[in-house]
Amino acid sequence: MRRSLLDWYDNNRRILPWREDPAPYHVWISEIMLQQTRVEAVKGYYERFLKTFPDVKSLAKAKEDEYLKVWEGLGYYSRVRNMHRAAVQIAEEYGGEIPASYEELKKLPGIGPYTAAAIASIAFGECVPAVDGNLLRVFARMTGWRESIAETKTKKAAERYFQEIFEEKTAKGKTGSAARNVPGDCNQALMDLGAAVCLPNAQPLCEKCPWKKDCVSHRNHEETAYPVMPEKAARRIEAKTVFIILTAEKALLHKRPARGLLAGLYEFPNTEGELSRKEARDFIRLLGLSPLRIKALEKAVHIFTHKEWHMTGYEVRVDEPEAEEAETRKRLHRDGFVFADRKDVLTTYPIPSAFRVYSDHFLHL
């Protein structure tokens, strides 16, 4: 099974930038970015991230706004925060060298069993399966596994199953060739197999699969019955009103709290509920600002994992607070607001993609 998998991989592997130079730092960045994000979306971010932070030490020295800005739009910002924390730890405890073992990698912030296995196998050749959604799906279909793939015992069974394949003896009694990184190639082959052949939420392309003769679900003509998925909770819907608040030269932004959803990122000021034009004017006045003109913007929806934001927007022109209104400025600053130069809003401040409709509007002002 291992030989047929690797033969298939040699002929069908995806050409990806991090695979062409699988240095530990490159593998780490790519694996973190690929969590809950499509490969095509990651490619550009990967190149920009490497250009800005070419190694562990440069990432460790980066300021929060710098690495958040490079990550802007990729989502799940706790990933890059943990990467920065891990980079600092690597610089301080490992002399700037990423640890080479699965067990040591798991000690770093943001690196769980899957990511540790991926780095350890691809960058260092350690024989450990990197069991993620792709591998769980392949395992469930290959074995006819009837338990939910969210169960711990499913993951443990999958790890054992793939470990045996990784360690298969060849006819000559050897587990692999010195010419290739067998564990790393096996993991990447399985990632590609799950992404391109053993498809999620669809009829798998079994005629292209190197393992179709060994697959229980294929033999029983019940491929789409697997894997057994856990029930998903309904997403909570939250109404919000978003404001693009402008003076002649500046725009008002708000920095989100250091913890929680989109922590530490900048946003256009917003409030709960769908406000009418009159209620929107009242909100601006509550900030201590004087609205001059107000214009309704298009509505927008942003979907998070567990919630949806249904947003109403307004563009509001306000008077610049006068110098004698120092108390208003102090209160705004204390509450996390900042009057940013309009030319710097989209280039300097990390604004999450949840506000993309309003960022696009701001771009064309």
Other C-beta atoms closer than 10 Å to the C-beta of 127 total 17
Give the dihedral sign, CA 27/33/39/44: negative
- Mapping DSSP to helix (H, G, I), strand (E, B) and coil, where does residue 90 land? helix
Is 31 an active-site residue? yes
Choosing from 31, 126, 223, 267, the catalytic residue is 31
Strands 250-255 and 266-267: antiparallel
In angstroms, the CA 96 to CA 93 distance is 8
The contacts of residue 38 (CB under 8 Å, 6+ apart) are none
By CB neighbour count within 10 A (0-12 exposed, 13-18 middle, 19+ buried), where does 1 fall?
middle
The residues facing 272 across adjacent strands are 240
CA distances from 200 to 5, 42, 176, 214 (A): 19, 19, 30, 19
Residue 108, phi then psi, degrees to nearest 5:
-90, 145
CA distances from 357 to 76, 244, 300, 312 (A): 19, 11, 7, 11
- Structure tokens of 276? 């009418």
Which residues are catalytically annotated?
31
